[in-house]
A and B are shown apart, each in its own frame.
Chain A
Amino acid sequence: MTIDDRELEAAMATLLTTAPPSLAPGVLAEVGLADRYAQFESPIGPLVVAWNGIGVSAVEAAPDDATFEASHEARTGRRAIRAERLPESLGRAIGRRLAGDRRVHIDLDLRGRTDFERDVWHKALEIPRGEVRPYGWIAAEIGRPKAVRAVGSALGHNPVPLIVPCHRVVRSDGTIGQYSLGGAHNKRIILAAEGLDPDRLESEARAGIRFVGSDTTGVVCLPTCRHAQRISPAHRVPFRSMAAATAAGYRACRVCRSGSGVLAA
């Protein structure tokens, strides 16, 4: 049997086909014009993580897909498209970050945020797992010692909680303070999961302990600094203020930079 040119060309024309439904969302997310999202298991239960080609754009506790999609679009102007799961490498990176590995790099999509907010979030990233810092410390460290309230507000607007660990920032009086991801209760759960005892933290704060010195080294730290946590009870000297510690001949720790934020606090 033979086949003429017209039949052959017609046969070729039937090979035009439709793209799989995942193609367009994949492209739009990759260029940052839309976001994909999927569920992620965290110490405080399932969370929604959204991402695009630029980076992670949201971490949120959402009751259902429709609620998340609506709030995400209202906040970012971008559509959120459900994905089956997080990309494997991203899931692994977030897991490692939550386990305390600060070296693992996670790109973030923080478009539309102010420089001040970015400064606050980047500073929060420096706080190690199992430690906390007061709002005033962040304000002093980013060179805006008087902007303590604005720091609190920027942390409240952190679009990627847990990844940017705003839960490690507490009130300057030492109490745990508010948390955007489901309130103070969740903040305590996360801090406890990271090895801190929130009750002890607050009871010491209530007792007026803001700094802890070692009488063998003469160094004074914030109470959760890993060096402070190593001081044995016999050598542990509590202080109410940096001024009191300095007067007693102690110098600020260079690791937790306990001297930062003293003016504001």
Chain B
Amino acid sequence: MDTDDQLIAALARDLDGSFEALVLAHQDRLYSIALRMLGDGRDAEEAAQDALVRAYQALGDYPAERILELRLRPWLATIVLNLCRTRIGRRATAGRPPLSLDAAEPGTMEPPTEGRTGPAATTDRRDAGRAWAALLLTLPPAYRSAVVLRHVDGLTYPEVATALDRPEGTVKAQVHRGLAMLRTAFEAAERREREEMTA
């Protein structure tokens, strides 16, 4: 029995007594998904909080048998992604400029290097993380959500397909295509940086 199975059994038995365990077990991944979809920490916290509140309300309405059949990881991912989509849509109608490749800072596009430690490596990693996060935000939402669920959250392809309610083949193609777009963007940023240095 993995941890989620135990958690689901506990939720079916005593929602109020075990819901905090669900929050603690899933808050980091739901926040990460929202942060990588939305790009803003405060928006992401609100979306993740809202998702967990809705999960609690839904679990309160479900009979125990239905809770026992839940696949918690993709189910929670679906809830948070739907909330992110609503927020992205609201932004678009509010006329906020869509994020573009310019948001990625050149010069910080190092892929993670193994074997480096210490404060300097931490700073590099943080800068690299920021740059990758910015690149990710330039992907169209359909590709972004597939890449985020598969490679940031670490869901399996069948789980990603369930969470996004898309066929597994489509999801695989979207992850693949999303990574290809990231690679192109990464290499373009690198090239720009080299040109600036030699100019």
Contacts and interface: CB of A to CB of B under 8 A. Distances in A.
Interface string B30-60: 1110011000010001001100110011000
Interface residues of A, number: 29
B128 interface: yes
A8 to B, nearest CB: 5
Contact of B179 (A9, A15, A20, A30): A9
Main secondary structure on B side of the interface with A = helix
A14 B125 contact: yes
B190 interface: yes
Nearest to B194: A1
Contacts of A22: 45
B24 interface: yes
Interface in B72-129: 111-112, 125, 128-129
Contacts of B136: 12, 15
Contacts of B147: 12
Nearest to B46: A26
Interface string A1-15: 111010111111111
B89 to A, nearest CB: 23
Given A26-B49, A31-B53, A19 B187 contact: no
A18 interface: yes
Contacts of B57: 31
A31 B132 CA distance: 35
A23 B111 contact: no
Given A27-B53, A28-B23, A15 B132 contact: yes
A114 interface: no
A2 B187 contact: yes
A20 B186 contact: no
Given A27-B49, A53-B53, A8 B111 contact: yes
A145 to B, nearest CB: 38
Given A13-B151, A31-B53, 5 more contacts: A3-B187, A8-B111, A15-B129, A17-B32, A27-B23
